[in-house]
Structure 1
Amino acid sequence: MNAYLELGTVNRLKIARETDYGLVLASTEAKEVLLPKRYILPSMKIGDTIDVFVYTDSEDRIVATTQQPEAMLGEVALMEVVDVTSHGAYLHWGLPKDLFVPKMFQRMPMRKGDRRIVRVAYDEKTHRLVGTEIFDRQLKRAGRNDLKRNQAVEILVYAKTDLGYKAVVEKRYDGLVFHSDIFEPMKIKETKTAYIKQIRDDGKIDLLLRPIGKKSDDIAADKIVAFLDNQRGMMPLNYKSDPERIKALLGLSRKNFKRALTKLLEQGKIEVKENGTYLKAKQRKREVKP
């Protein structure tokens, strides 16, 4: 059980008693919070210990919920702007009360319908959770035991630099994919699977878009097969195709593409013809109808 109520995180609390408005949950320090009726499950009993997210409602009262937000305190996520006022904007983050982003924490004025990358932070002045787009220096530095080399992680790309693309790793760590390690299109606000290349002495993370040890030819071949399977077994590309066309469809250089085609031909997985490349029937993941 949590000793204290921790705003913006999941708390493990004991069900102390029932009221007309819901269940009262208590920490080991006798701090209490209400779990409103709409979140109560038939299985919940007095004395049980449950996990709940704690935040403030529309009247700034501390409340508990069994729902999980898109991001918790210190985490970063892509959220949609649902309302804008003279003081700031409100973003949907998966809870009944939207996350407020004050104007001073916006890089550019937010508009309704925008999808923006924000970090959930604690505002010392209002004692509330708020969102901020200014989070570069607040991202967590990884310790040697936090993540492992070659571990698969989820990244959210948030900026392009001269070195490469900056990304938030697992919603909270600072990461970078170097341009020299990129063999596919990358976009700001895009979520991808990446792999830990190394954790530097300063805690920043170098990332790869493929597992360590897997050659670029293997990655290219996998992309071609996946593309063929999604396009009913045919793609309008072959050895003579224009480099820009190859890059647009597959995100591959012409050199990598041709080497991957040869690899797949040798493995008997494809046929290359004048009008394109075909996936042999036995390689298809699903039945292709004529």
Structure 2
Amino acid sequence: MATQLYAGEITKLKVARKQDYGYFLTNGNEDVLLHKNEALQEHGEDEDVEVFLYHDHEGRLSATETMPIVTLDSFSILKVVGVQPRLGVFVDIGIQKDMLLSKDDLPEDRTRWPENGDELYCGLKLDKKDRLFADLSNFEEIKELSTEASGDLKNKETEGVVYRFGEEGASILTEEGYLAFLHNDEMKQSVRLGERVNVRVTFVREDGRINVSTRPLVKEARLEDADKLLNYMNEHGGKMPFTDKSDPETIKNEFNISKAAFKRAMGKLLKEKKVEQKDGYTFIIS
């Protein structure tokens, strides 16, 4: 008994009839078009053809002989090839039509959306109307790709792709397959979903996962943060309304560094007598 055809299927269909613009394929119940641009070779009537089913740009169920990188039952890392703020982002699944990852599956914060060239771990899914969409891989799927980190990795550098966000930070899968967590306080600057980032290992957990940072080591960071404070004061008349007693959230919002990092940098500048503090302000000593 013939069954209904769905987008996302890889199936064999019979050539029902041939037209100048392609082939109509059938399962005995429904017909779909295999356009000549989607056919890999010539076919004769009644020939069985293996195809992937998808919706064309007009929403019609169509066929292609080109097999996708991912299916409804698999996932892979896919490149972002388009961003539409009202819809979401499009990823290349290996066929002529790019697949939409809905904005509903993306972070609410638009600054964390992927950009063209970023990479997302995705599969495919059907919505309630049987429309085909890209589907972000969940943690259990990402875990399948992972491997435990060894204890000697502290302060080693590596690279990985951001695959999800939580309230406290970003999760990353590194090139070696390590599951890494990048806390918000350890971000030198905000990162995007799908962004490939360079990180430094700060801690190896007992379960083989790692904590990472995009910030330099404390000594290097202190120099960098001290320069950041001096540059700020130079751009604001030689002073700033911040001291080592300022509110941590205010410091974070203005300089994107923690209160502890601010105090280390300020301590360096005070010790070197480059600045002085008075009445809630820090001044450059000329």
Tell me the TM-score normalised to structure 2 length.
0.48
Larger of the two Rg values belongs to structure = 2
